[in-house]
Structure 1
Amino acid sequence: MRRKVNIPFGYKLILPYVLCLLMAVLTVGLFAYAHSVNSLREKTRENLQGTLRQMRDNIRYRTDDIERITNSLYYNYSLQNALRRYDQGWYSYETMTKTLMPALENLLNYTASNIGLSLYLQNETLPEIFYKDEEQNPLLSTKRYEIYHLARIQDTDWYRLLQFSGTLPGLSRWQQILRDKEDGNISLLQRLDDVQRGKEIGLVRVSVQIRDLLDSVDYRKIGEYSTLVVLDASGRTVLQSSPEGAEEGNPRTAPDRLVLSEPLYGLGWQLQSYIPDSLFDQSAGEVRRMTLLVCLVSALVLAVLGIWVSGYFTRRIQKIVGSLNAFHDGDFHKRIRFKGNDELAQIAIAFNRMGSNMEELIHKNYVADLQKKEAELESLQAQINPHFLYNTLSSINRLAQFGDIDKLHIMVQELAKFYRLSLNRGEILTTVGKEIEHAKAYVAIQCIKYGERLSVYYDIDPEVLEYATVKLILQPLIENALEHAWFGTTLGIRLVVEKREAEIVFKVVDNGVGMNADTIRQILVPEGPRIGYGIRNVDSRIKLHHGSGYGVTIASRSGIGTCIQITIPCRM
């Protein structure tokens, strides 16, 4: 027979590794792609920066237009001569109607935007003209002018700050004053001076809506998903233009974005744009496709060979991984069959041997543990108090002596039902319905014994009757109440069974003497004293069968009564 040549697993991996080294040719393609993408990115950046400059120039044009209005007033010498005189009467009226008001009306028609022109004058011989707007932004409806006396604003903080900052004659300043922030406006402030005498004669304020001033700021001019933000000198957002439904929050903190900015001279603001990297990815898409096509053709033969080799070994390794996952899920019947005698085949042989040993060991331990658990359950159930049978037979004897045949018949019938349900054909589990019947049989016997001194009420949810439960869990609790809960000559007991989501709750509630916290603690201690042995027995059997998350809890107050609750899972 020909001797088989077994190639070690390490050599089998070297072959595809060497072949993959040939893929280094792709380095040239990647370099060309990176260089092209960087060039496109830089070109796109320059184009976007140019768009921002156009927006900046448009805003500058708007601000210059407003500044020309204030300069027209500043260099109107006839107006200065009229405001320099403080004559009252006819001269004051003529100055208002023939000089000041026509000049202001002409300035309002100078621009198409809605503006508010306010003139604050030192000359108090001229009357004031103004509108009373308390809530509505006046610039939303029309453009208009107003005339005030300068004394109205001399005590305001913004005017004192304007004077303190040393604003030179003829220079203007953009600032939000009075109600500008609430109305979304901004004002251009400029001193009105007597040029010949170098004396201040008033203040000019031109108000304009910020959205009119910045109407050229539109994210669509930059690109989809981009964001444009105008920031004031303190970094506060004045205006933001972004797509509808865009993410809320600060765009400056968003990752993977290019930030471009342009200063807005005169306003002291800054125009910033936040462009997602996806915009550049779209520009680089064509270059990427061409580069990938060239690289794909070069690597096609090597890729086919590499896929075949790697697939051969991958299928074998995946078979091992799948078997390990089956072991993790508890399926120890999984076995691996590999041809040959290489490292993978040896791993498969060792794996199969390990699986057989583990399956045999787990089976032995499972059987032993199951037998131990069943023995403990049977032992615990056998400890149910047998005195009940003796007491019941004694009661039957007395009823026979007194000739009370009806009660005797009922007691014998209920006793037979009680023990028939107790035996349950040797089964550990029973249904909730049979367990309730068993408890009712026990109660019926006790009601004959105690007569009118004992009252028992039932509150049973019909939905729980078909679920499974450990047998003999209600009778010991009722028996415990009959032995220890008497408070006077009468006793009331209420049995409640209900479903709560994935659990079934039993409650045995009495209005008896109750118990203190120390007694409750002694009852529930696993190796505690003989007190409350029946309750502890029930709790142990439930925990043994369903786990430590279920069992008995007790709530009681001395002189008021006791509520003993049993919780088990919903299982059919």
Structure 2
Amino acid sequence: MRRMLNVPFGYKLILPYLLCLLLAVLTVGMFAYAHSVSSLKEKTRDNIQGTLRQIRDNIRYRTDDIQRISDMLYYNYNLQNALRRYDQGWYSYETMTKTLMPTLANLLNYTASNIGLSLYLKNDTLPELFYKDGQQNPLLSTKRYEIFHLNRIQNEDWYGGLEFSRQKAGHSLWQQIQRDERDGNISLLQRLDDVQRGQEMGLIRVRVQIRDLLDSVDYRKVGEYSTLMVLDNQGNTVLKSSPEGVAGDVKASAANRLLLSEPLDGLGWVLEAHIPNSLFDESANKVRRMTLVVCLVSAFVLACLGIGVSSYFSRRIQKIVGSLNAFRDGDFQKRISYKGNDELAQIAAAFNRMGTNIEELIHKNYVANLQKKEAELESLQAQINPHFLYNTLSSINRLAQFGDIQKLHVLVQELAKFYRLSLNRGEILTTVGKEIEHAKAYIAIQCIKYGDRMAVYYDIDPAALEYTTVKLILQPMIENALEHAWFGSTIGIRLVVEKRETDIVFKVIDNGVGMSADTIQQILDPEGPRMGYGIRNVDSRIKLHGGSGYGVNIASRSGIGTCVQIRIPCKM
């Protein structure tokens, strides 16, 4: 008993320390292993799901490209005007050669894929134009367009089952008809309407090979021994991509596989990925071995350190605890002072260096993040929607074809002004007057596109024109209204600019469909879904340069309209 009492306090202290150490390392190791395996599986699942979304987006891009071709034909008012005439003779020949055939030929050049464009017309005064195909799929060789009379297909079962009469104008659907299933094709069908009179004029059919739409479906993008499948709305396999060594029915081995899926909107199909569980088990074994090694090394190192510092623990550890508490509270200027050159003195010196480095790293990281944020915002605000430029150039092309020189001159002039003001010599800031000019140039371009269906009103305070603002804050709001706010066939937009005591307020008001409070909250939420990104970008840039008290506010009521208010500080 006397020998036990004479044991130094350091040794008495190290024994329970070692027991606690082993228990702590074991607990942390088990938790770290379980958490690491769970995180690894979740990360792998998220990565694969992200890959499926990329494949889905690639397919959606292809289908949207085909849809744009059909829409361009559907909204071709010059073509509709020509198809209203039932005159024969020279007028019929002129309509075919100068309007119908050039229009179809130009549409074939809007996509790189081999497509077949067929037009079924009620106007039987126009001659038919088609190719007599053999047994080979015509899309394997070239693009082509054909013109038929609608009475050729009016008695077909597939045409009677379309039920376009129940759908809204401009509705389209994907369906395999006639030889499509045999040739591996699929057709986009859209009724051709007289938009002004609301009468049916025919049917638009755009054929494309299924393998062209689904060329991005490749199992190698997901992982080895995985399988990618595309299923139609009946559950039938449209396309399957898997390694040569994987055979049989993947659905039969579902217990040994992880199933992930993504819907292919528009087509009505589903993209499925079947991933073997062995892919996760191999990674989990690596994590298990690594966790065991780390726990053993940690236990050994901590035991050695505990034995070395046990005699100094009761007196000197309080200084370290006090400094750690100061660090926890955000005081990184706290330092430890020890005399001597022992381990605690070295720890104190290392601790002091760490505090200095942390202060420097926090400052550098803050500055770097601020510069990165400004660079990202500068890049974002310099981007102009490529679809806007694409559509504007398409409008220029059509005006040039139709010989409307006056509108063509105005459109080119406003487009040049729009990009000149957008670039702004690389500057982030501009004046309120120039920002309004930029918005007016954009509106002028859109007015040529929409004509009488679009009305714009201005209420601008001249006292606000010379103040400074972040550039490109009005155009995204107007563009968003033109994309989402249509209520019927017309839209009215009012642009208000007024100077208050210390603020300048912009308002973009429309009489469109409006939006719900949940949608507004999602648009303005920095962590929300990728919707209303242009509005969120404007709000972020204004807050960066003006402060958190400024930015974008949205008020809307369904069926009445939306008011987007932008508030910036008055700065010269």
| TM-score, normalised relative to structure 2 | 0.46
| TM-score, normalised relative to structure 1 | 0.46
